[in-house]
């Protein structure tokens, strides 16, 4: 087997030059919780109900600007528009696939960075996949997001803007947004405080009222934050990007395993299950000739036996600049079958949007490559 570490292009893990302090980033209305908005308006000696009116326009009507908030006084709308933008995110490009059932949106942040969001429409649900960082420091061998390292964390408002944008897209198609997965660019548990603030804003019953059980936080295995997540008041779902059952293989595919090896990760998952009573999902990106052997499937079954868990096998969504490929259909089903025969609940989930660079970070990477070419025109 070719070393996953050797196959990956050598790139810096963290790009410090682009990192901005939080104080320098523009603040948007989506960055505020309802109590924070009430306090802000209170300083203007405005009644509390004005904040709730704005909140309803934001998260129930998905108002794109203050002009649409017609129940507010004209003077207040003008005042807020001048001092506090609703969003600091600008839509650069929207690409569709699967007969319009998959939409990938490329956003530009207020400081010029690019991030991605994917809306996936299914017969029984509408799911948005949200990014939490510009880039990623984890550096998984098969992932496009980490190719340029980590630039910075996204704010809660930048994440909320992605969700509201997806909810607006779903509504335009006669659907309601039902689910949120933190499986886009970045490691959510490396941006813990802002991710939890985003959950609080979206969960607020006065606004979008997105149930916590419809929110899934994915992690590559940040053990201390898994323990912290178990103590949060919101019963969100936990998904762990496992991808290998042994340290020898996981060290190559998911470098954070060198800090939190498989034994420690599984112990944290067991504590999470014991404390919350909730099932843990294990994500497994299946790659031909890398982690798809029958013996590897049996090792995975042994590792997960007895846990309250579910395995999502995700045949790899290939990245054009990386050497990894998905197995054929027979190999995929054989791997899943070994797990099922061992009593491990297992689902095969094929990635959507192969023709629109749907692999995490791929559209951003392509846009940045085009923008860096002297003859390239504007993105989008």
Of 312, 307, 305, nearest to 279 by C-alpha is 307
**CA 186/CA 65 separation, integer angstroms:** 28
More confidently predicted of 370 and 173 = 173
Of 131, 82, 89, nearest to 112 by C-alpha is 89
- Which pLDDT value is given to residue 31? 98
Question: At 116, phi and psi to the nearest 5?
Answer: -120, 150
- Which pLDDT value is given to residue 14? 38
If one counts every other C-beta atom within 10 angstroms of the C-beta of residue 322, the result is: 19
Q: Given 63, 86, 109, which residue is the final one in a domain? A: 86
Distances (CA, A) of 57 to 164, 207, 350, 356: 11, 8, 36, 32
Domain harbouring 341, CATH code: 3.20.20.70
Band of residue 1 on the pLDDT scale cut at 50, 70, 90 = very low
pLDDT at 23 > cutoff 90: no
Residue 379 inside a domain? The answer is: no
Asked if residue 149 and residue 170 are part of one domain, the reply reads yes
Asked if residue 13 and residue 78 are part of one domain, the reply reads no
> Catalytic site residues?
116, 360
Lowest mean pLDDT among 5-19, 38-52, 209-223, 259-273: 5-19
Band of residue 353 on the pLDDT scale cut at 50, 70, 90 = low
Q: How far apart are the first and last CA of the chain?
A: 39
Asked if residue 342 and residue 258 are part of one domain, the reply reads yes
**CA 141/CA 149 separation, integer angstroms:** 12
Q: Are 125 and 199 in contact (CB under 8 A)?
A: no
Contacts of 47 (CB under 8 A, 6+ apart): 41
Q: Given 86, 107, 131, which residue is the final one in a domain? A: 86
Lowest mean pLDDT among 16-20, 180-184, 336-340, 375-379: 375-379
Asked if residue 316 and residue 305 are part of one domain, the reply reads yes
Question: At 67, phi and psi to the nearest 5?
Answer: -60, -30
Q: Are 56 and 207 in contact (CB under 8 A)?
A: yes
Asked if residue 181 and residue 47 are part of one domain, the reply reads no
Instruction: Supply the pTM of this predicted model.
Output: 0.88
Asked if residue 114 and residue 42 are part of one domain, the reply reads no
How many domains, in total, are found in the chain? 2
Distance of CA 25 to the CA centre of its chain: 21
Core vs surface per residue 45-58: b (16+ CB within 10 A) or e: eeeeebbeebbebb
- Which pLDDT value is given to residue 22? 54
Each residue's pLDDT tens digit, 355-372 = 555 555 555 555 544 444
Residue 244 inside a domain? The answer is: yes
Residue 233 inside a domain? The answer is: yes
Asked if residue 206 and residue 63 are part of one domain, the reply reads no
Asked if residue 46 and residue 8 are part of one domain, the reply reads no
Residue 59 inside a domain? The answer is: yes
pLDDT at 302 > cutoff 60: yes
| Domain span holding position 66 | 29-86
Asked if residue 183 and residue 74 are part of one domain, the reply reads no
Distance of CA 379 to the CA centre of its chain: 23
**CA 280/CA 364 separation, integer angstroms:** 30
Domain harbouring 60, CATH code: 1.10.150.530
Asked if residue 224 and residue 147 are part of one domain, the reply reads yes
Residue 365 inside a domain? The answer is: yes
Asked if residue 196 and residue 101 are part of one domain, the reply reads yes
């Amino acid at each position: 087997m070719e070393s996953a570490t050797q196959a990956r292009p050598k790139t810096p893990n963290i790009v410090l030059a682009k990192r901005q302090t939080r104080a320098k980033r523009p603040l948007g209305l989506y960055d505020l919780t309802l109590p924070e908005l009430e306090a802000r308006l209170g300083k203007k000696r405005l009644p509390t109900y004005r904040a709730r009116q704005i909140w309803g326009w934001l998260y129930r009507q998905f108002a794109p600007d203050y002009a649409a908030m017609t129940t507010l006084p004209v003077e207040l709308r003008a005042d807020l528009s001048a001092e506090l933008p609703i969003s600091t995110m600008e839509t650069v490009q929207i690409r569709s696939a699967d007969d319009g059932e998959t939409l990938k949106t490329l956003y530009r942040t207020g400081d010029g960075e690019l991030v991605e969001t994917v809306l996936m429409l299914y017969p029984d649900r509408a799911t948005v996949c949200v990014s939490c960082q510009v880039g990623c420091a984890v550096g998984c061998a098969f992932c496009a997001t980490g190719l340029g390292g980590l630039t910075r964390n996204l704010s809660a408002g930048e994440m909320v803007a992605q969700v509201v944008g997806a909810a607006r897209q779903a509504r335009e198609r006669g659907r309601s947004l039902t689910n949120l997965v933190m499986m886009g660019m970045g490691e959510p548990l490396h941006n813990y405080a802002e991710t939890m603030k985003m959950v609080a804003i979206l969960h607020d019953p006065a606004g979008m009222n997105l149930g916590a059980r419809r929110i899934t936080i994915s992690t590559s295995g940040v053990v201390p934050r898994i323990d912290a997540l178990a103590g949060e008041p919101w019963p969100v779902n936990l998904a762990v990007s496992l991808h290998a059952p042994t340290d020898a293989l996981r060290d190559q595919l998911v470098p954070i395993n060198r800090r939190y090896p498989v034994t420690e990760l599984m112990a944290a998952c067991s504590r999470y299950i014991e404390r919350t009573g909730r099932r843990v999902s294990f994500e497994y990106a299946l790659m031909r000739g890398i982690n798809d052997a029958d013996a590897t499937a049996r090792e995975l079954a042994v590792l997960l036996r007895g846990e309250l868990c579910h395995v999502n096998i995700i045949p790899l969504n290939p990245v054009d600049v990386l050497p990894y490929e998905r197995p054929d259909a027979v190999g995929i089903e054989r791997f899943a079958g070994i797990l099922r025969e061992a009593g491990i609940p297992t689902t095969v989930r094929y990635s959507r949007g192969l023709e629109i660079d749907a692999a995490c970070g791929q559209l951003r990477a392509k846009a940045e490559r085009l923008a860096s070419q002297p003859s390239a025109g504007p993105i989008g």
